Amino acid sequence: MMRGLILAAVLAVALGTDYNATYNASPIWKVFCPNYIYHGRVDSLVNPGNYSGHIHKVFGGNHFSASKQERSFMQVYGITRRSTCTSCSLREVDNSNYWTSDLYYQWPNGSLSLVPNSGLTVYYLSRGGSTGANRTNPNWQPIPRGLRMLAGNTLRRAPDNSSDSKAVSYYCLTDYNVQAPLEQQTFPTKDNFCKNGLRAQVWFPMCWNGKDLDSADHKSHMHYPLNYDNNPQGGDCPNSHPVRIPGIFVEHIYSVDQFPHGDGTRQPFVWSNGDQNGNGFHADFVSAWVPEVMAAAIAHPNCSNDNPLMAFGNRVDQCPPLAPFVKDNYGSNVDCQLSHLMPTTENLG
């Protein structure tokens, strides 16, 4: 009841927001998802009503389900919005679901062990267009109701020059006192021991065609900015996909330090989709944001990288439009369970 009242009050203010207003040049906030709500093969984006070929961990709103092929995007949005809790730090305004693959360690005898992972960190940010007037993001809009998308390609096994390939990167957290290797596109674990874990990261595309909430490949309705390859966080949107939405960047840290590696002999990690190079890393996103609240956040000068109190997006309580929905900045005390039983062996028919 109390939460509903807060949301209603925020909406009453936010609805007055003009989506075409000049937005703040460098908004930033992070959503922390310490715990997953589902671990298995259900994938409502790529395989609605069926199983995916591989296992992943799903974070966010507790109404995640196998879904059904005949459900419209707006029906799924409505169901996901009505989640009664989320496993992430921003409650009520963001009931979105985010998911990524599982990582395994392959022993010399071929057997596999699941690599434990800490929670997901989701960044919402943008550096805007290239220069000048476009730095204030012409035609920038909040993520529309019902949008979903995929970043990365589960079938990719070698880096290529596509933006989608360049969107995936790894950071080997060697030791906080030691110079870490640069971010790279393939697993960096053959030659480096990642003492503090391996961070797998992917950027979602941030230019939308303004019409379609999804597409057959879950990608064509979206596009990366034109000079993305030189500046992954910036660049203008192409005319075909003129609507800029906040850039979503996902980080997932895997505890590879629990397994022997880094002696220069072999790369022992493998994604649940069978990828041993790392280029098949991908993430899925099904939005269940309240766009009016997101619009207010990207317009507010304090929800910005330029505001030191935001601490690079860690202190979402310093962003006035989002602050009422922050119980705890890092989501450490969030307790949320899937609203229904959904074992990996469930009969989805």
Ligand X SMILES: *[C@@H]1O[C@H](CO)[C@@H](O)[C@H](O)[C@H]1NC(C)=O
Residues that bind ligand X (CB under 6 A): 18, 20, 49-50, 107, 109, 111, 129-134, 160-161, 236, 302, 307, 309, 320
Q: Specify the residue, 236 or 275, whose C-beta has the smaller distance to ligand X.
A: 236
Question: How many Cβ atoms from other residues are within 10 Å of residue 19's Cβ?
Answer: 14
Nearer to ligand X, 121 or 279 (CB): 279
Question: Which one, 234 or 262, has the nearer CB to ligand X?
Answer: 234
Please identify, using beta-carbon distances, which residue of 180 and 243 lies nearer to ligand X.
243
Whose tokens are 């390939």? That residue is 165
Q: Which residues are CB-neighbours of 339 under 8 A, at least 6 positions away?
A: 62, 63, 83, 84
Residue closer to ligand X by CB (options 59, 140) is 140
Distance of closest approach, residue 49 Cβ to ligand X, in angstroms: 6
Between residues 21 and 182, which has the closer beta carbon with respect to ligand X? 21
Q: Which helix (H) or strand (E) holds 296?
A: helix 291-299
In whole angstroms, how close is the CB of 17 to ligand X at the nearest point?
Answer: 10
C-alpha distances in angstroms, 313 versus 83, 88, 123, 225, 265? 25, 15, 8, 22, 39
**Least spacing, CB of residue 275 vs ligand X, in Å:** 16
Q: How far is the CB of 129 from ligand X (least distance, A)?
A: 6
Spatial contact of 289 and 139, defined as CB atoms under 8 Å apart: no
Q: Which of 180/342 has CB closer to ligand X?
A: 342
Residue 134 CB, nearest approach to ligand X (Å): 4
Residue 10 burial by Cβ neighbours in a 10 Å radius (0-12, 13-18, 19+): buried
Q: Write down the least CB distance from residue 310 to ligand X, Å.
A: 8
Q: What is the DSSP letter of 293?
A: H
Give CA 72 to chain center in angstroms. Answer: 22
* Dihedral sign of CA atoms 38, 34, 95, 207 in order: negative
Q: Where are the beta strands (DSSP E) in 11-50?
A: 28-33, 38-42
In three-state secondary structure terms, 299 is helix
Give the nearest distance from C-beta 53 to ligand X in angstroms.
7
